[in-house]
Copies of this chain bind each other. A is one copy, B any other.
Amino acid sequence: MNSVFNFSAGPAMMPKAVLEQAQQELLNWQDQQTSVMEISHRSKLFMELVTQADKDFRQLYNIPDNYKILFLQGGARGQFSAIPMNLIGEKGKALYLNSGHWSATAAKEARLFCDVDELNILEDGDTLKIKSLDFTGIADQYDYVHYCPNETISGVEIFDVPEVGNTVLVADMSSTILSRQIDISKFGIIYAGAQKNLGPAGITIVIIREDLIGRARKATPSIWNYETQAKSDSMINTPPTFAWYLCSLVFKYLLKQGGVKAIEKVNQAKAKLLYDYLDQSDFYRNTVAKENRSLMNVTFTTGNDELNAKFVAEATACGLQALKGHKVLGGMRASIYNAMPIEGVKALIAFMQKFEQDNK
């Protein structure tokens, strides 16, 4: 059997070692003769898992003590609703920075619950490039400023942190989390669906500065009320225990790899290989400005829909899976999250070279 590499944008590849451990202990976890998914979330052993996961994640991402970590349900899209419900206060409105599909979708959902001002932060023109991120002059009109540091569909990443003065900064880090080091203290809330770098689909992490807990409007579902969940160890209802368990294994695995500092280096090396190859090719094209190229989602196209479809079909046949771009953009997308080994990127480049030669 040849190696298979899965470039899915999410649900994405998981570390093989994690899946192997999960497989090995699926019917007998911690010598209990039952599966981890069959035991009470309030049992001693599961509470130990949860406590350790909090500790490991804190260490991995360098999370300050004045932040709580919540493990919730509903995905990042659930948080699109939960954030205005929990954060809108006296000012009554929020600023959403629009850098593409996901930041725009977050703004659209927030409009169901509050007034939203939306600012396009992409430069005009064919190249995807982020404008200045200094919002200190306007940010204090808003209860919070929201942005998405990685637009998974277009492959645009925002490496600088927007300047918002004392206003609360909120970030959808679904495709950024644990991929590189960040200064958590600059953020009020960071949230992320798990299905890229954390674990399987079905669990959502919210990192929240403690002073922002307790501001929810009355009409907030209790599973998304940050105060309720912070007081209940994220267990106001039965949590997705198996997904939580898998996240806990991923944290341990990443710590063993040297933590986010070491992983960031590997991610930079993986992305560099692929972008360097794209830059020297006149067959493939990537339209993102160099300073905003995503470390996690590398988009490219041949400029020809038929040829793109052929590329995807032949790559799949060679064990390079899920390279089709998102339907709103077309072309190709290689998602190279933490679990993708550099060998996968090398195999992709080798295939791209051959495809270029054969189809030029």
Considering the chains assembled together, what is the distance between the CA atoms of A222 and B19 in angstroms?
A: 32
Residue on B nearest A203 in the bound complex, by CB: B202
B11 & A41 in contact (Cβ 8 Å cutoff):
yes
Residues of B within 8 A of A9 (CB): 40
The reply on A14 being an interface residue by CB < 8 A is yes
User: A268 on the interface (CB 8 Å rule)?
Assistant: no
Bound Cα distance from A338 to B276, whole angstroms: 56
A38→B238 contact, CB < 8 A:
no
B37–A223 touching, CB < 8 Å? no
Which B residues are CB-close (under 8 A) to A222? 77, 80-81, 109, 112
9 A-B pairs, CB-CB below 8 angstroms?
A: A4-B34, A11-B38, A22-B26, A26-B26, A33-B319, A77-B222, A109-B222, A201-B240, A242-B242
Residue ID in chain B nearest A221 by CB atoms: B81
The listed residue (B34, B73, B113) touching A73 by CB distance below 8 A is B73
Minimum CB distance partner of A109 in chain B: B222
A20-41: which residues lie under 8 A (CB-CB) from chain B? 20, 22-23, 26-27, 32-35, 37-41
**Cα–Cα, bound, A74→B237 (Å):** 8
State the majority secondary structure of interface residues on A. loop
In the bound complex, CA of A83 to CA of B255 (Å): 42
**Given A203-B202, A219-B112, A219-B219, is A77 in contact with B23 using a C-beta cutoff of 8 Å?**
no
Nearest Cβ in chain B — how far from A103, in angstroms?
15
Chain B residues with CB under 8 Å of A80's CB are 221-222
Contact A201 B238 (CB under 8 A): yes
CB closest chain-B residue, reference A6: B34
Instruction: Name the distance in Å between A242's Cβ and chain B's nearest Cβ.
Output: 5
A41 touches which one: B16, B39, B201, B242 (CB < 8 A)?
A: B201
A214–B90 Cα distance when bound, in Å, is 32
A193 contacts partner chain B, Cβ-Cβ < 8 Å: yes
Residues of B within 8 A of A82 (CB): 221
Question: Contact at B78–A238, with CB atoms within 8 Å?
Answer: no
